Amino acid sequence: MHSDGHAHRITLASSDQTFVCEPGDVMLRSALRTGIAFPYECNVGACGNCKFELIEGDVEVVWPEAPGWTAKDRERRRYLGCQSAPRGDCTIKMRPSAHYAPKHAPRRVSGTLTERRAITHDIEEFRFTLSDNMPFEPGQYALLTLPGVEGQRAYSMSNIDEGIVEPRELHFQVRRVPNGRGTGVLFDTLDIGMRIDIDGPYGMAYLRRDVKRDILCIAGGSGLAPMISIARGVAAEPALDGVKLHFLYGGRTPRDVCGRDMLEALPGWAERLHFQAAVSDVAPDSETVWDGHVGFVHTVAETLFGEKLRDMEIYFAGPPAMGAAIQRALIALKVPFEQVHFDQFY
Ligand SMILES: Cc1cc2nc3c(=O)[nH]c(=O)nc-3n(C[C@H](O)[C@H](O)[C@H](O)COP(=O)(O)OP(=O)(O)OC[C@H]3O[C@@H](n4cnc5c(N)ncnc54)[C@H](O)[C@@H]3O)c2cc1C
Ligand code: FES
């Protein structure tokens, strides 16, 4: 990727604002590192939110098969910011949007795998110690470069940045994806002591510390980590002392359910932090007795909270199908859009 070894200057056509893209970096991330509010979501070529128009210059497309890049985009010289590296100085057209102004400029650091532990039959926690500080907000994610895997993989942090703790650590909770290349390497190849490149933080679904509404966190499957980070962030934030947090975890069967022990360990558990779980499979696995909710998380959330959802701050994370169902339910209930925060897991 972008291997000419030179930094290139990128100019925004609308404003004459410029930023430098260093060797090995892409348009989107180098803009965010400079503090430019470049719209994006997934960072892995899937959502298509990071498109820009190339006015002048040449770019290398890092992943031409990226699902977010269409034939029409190619015709119109539109590229994905997260998958394009400049081949020289460029001028691009992109409309910055204040919503995307980075709270912490993303940085490239390295992380050494120090610990891993099983959470469920297919989710494990991986802990990395960082070479350098990487401040982040609860709910954000980082990009991991895994040995032998093309591109990067996005994983949300489950811990919080406590500011004073050294060495800095990032904890990820990853669901093994059958035949997945990145998760294959994480689960089967990466040994304790191995070092990888980590780039972050990214993501807009971070804890809004200035909003005093009660909170609902909905996590489906692999969406556990960012919601745990938000819950930990709420428990640690004095400004949110009076805020109640309801955590709803959705799995397919009872053996998928997790997260309760992490909430129980927090100050405020059972008083202002509450956990409930739902499974969607009506034939639970025989090993576990199930006395929780049955159904998809969006319907369970509707049953539990109904119109109260309009007065809550809602965070969710998980597979795109779950995200779409939750969004439809919240729109039908007229929950104001500004109270809903998510980054979809493509
Ligand atoms: C914002 C965000 C946060 C996420 N957080 C978590 C989390 O906390 N826990 C969790 O378990 N999962 C999380 N995911 C999903 C995770 O990033 C992976 O998609 C998942 O682990 C499957 O990866 P895989 O390599 O095993 O599967 P694969 O099917 O091999 O790869 C799928 C992913 O890799 C990208 N990709 C594939 N090929 C390339 C390439 N050549 N270049 C660049 N990208 C490529 C795809 O866009 C897709 O995102 C998150 C995803 C996003 C977008
Ligand atoms: S496709 Fe680039 S941010 Fe999603």
126 lines ligand 2 (CB under 6 A): no
Intervals of CATH 2.40.30.10 along the chain: 107-202
Question: CA-CA distance, 63 to 185, in Å (whole number)?
Answer: 20
Residue 275 Cα to ligand 2 midpoint, Å, equals: 32
Q: Which of 247, 225, 224 is nearest to 157 (CA)?
A: 225
Ligand nearest to the CA of 78: 2
- SS3 percent helix, strand, coil of the chain, rounded to 5, is 25, 30, 45
Nearest to 159 by CA among 261, 263, 233, 234: 233
The token pair at 161 is 């940045």
* CATH number for region 8-100: 3.10.20.30
How far is ligand 1, taken at its centre, from the CA of residue 238, in Å?
34
Residues of the chain with CATH 3.40.50.80: 215-342
Residue 57 in contact with residue 86, Cβ under 8 Å?
A: yes
- Classify 107-202 by CATH class: mainly beta
Contacts of 254 (CB under 8 A, 6+ apart): 279, 284, 285, 287, 288, 289, 290, 292
What does DSSP say about strands 293-294 and 273-279: parallel, antiparallel, or unpaired?
A: parallel
Task: From first to last of the 346 residues of the chain, give the pLDDT tens digit.
Answer: 545 789 999 999 978 799 999 999 999 999 999 999 999 999 999 999 999 999 999 999 999 999 999 999 999 999 999 999 999 999 999 999 999 999 999 999 999 999 999 999 999 999 999 999 999 999 999 999 999 999 999 999 999 987 666 669 999 999 999 999 999 999 999 999 999 999 999 999 999 999 999 999 999 999 999 999 999 999 999 999 999 999 999 999 999 999 999 999 999 999 999 999 999 987 756 667 788 999 999 999 999 999 999 999 999 999 999 999 999 999 999 999 999 999 888 8
Task: Answer for the pair 27, 92: CB distance below 8 angstroms, yes or no.
Answer: yes
**Which residue spans of the chain are classified as CATH 3.10.20.30?**
8-100
Cβ of 46 less than 6 Å from ligand 2: yes
The b/e string for 287-311 (b: 16+ C-beta within 10 A; e otherwise) is eeebeebeebbbbbbbeebeeebee
From 3.40.640.10, 3.20.20.70, 3.30.70.380, 3.40.50.80, which CATH number describes the 215-342 domain? 3.40.50.80
Residue identifier of the C-alpha nearest atom 45 of ligand 1: 151
Whether the CB of 80 sits within 6 Å of ligand 2: yes
Choose which residue among 38, 40, 345 to substitute to test ligand 2 binding: the one with the highest number of ligand atoms within 8 A of its C-beta: 40
Residue ranges of alpha helices (H) inside 50-147 are 71-75
pLDDT at 16: 78
* pLDDT value of position 289: 78
**DSSP 8-state code for residue 316:** E
What pLDDT does 66 receive?
A: 97
Contact 46, 68 (CB under 8 A): yes
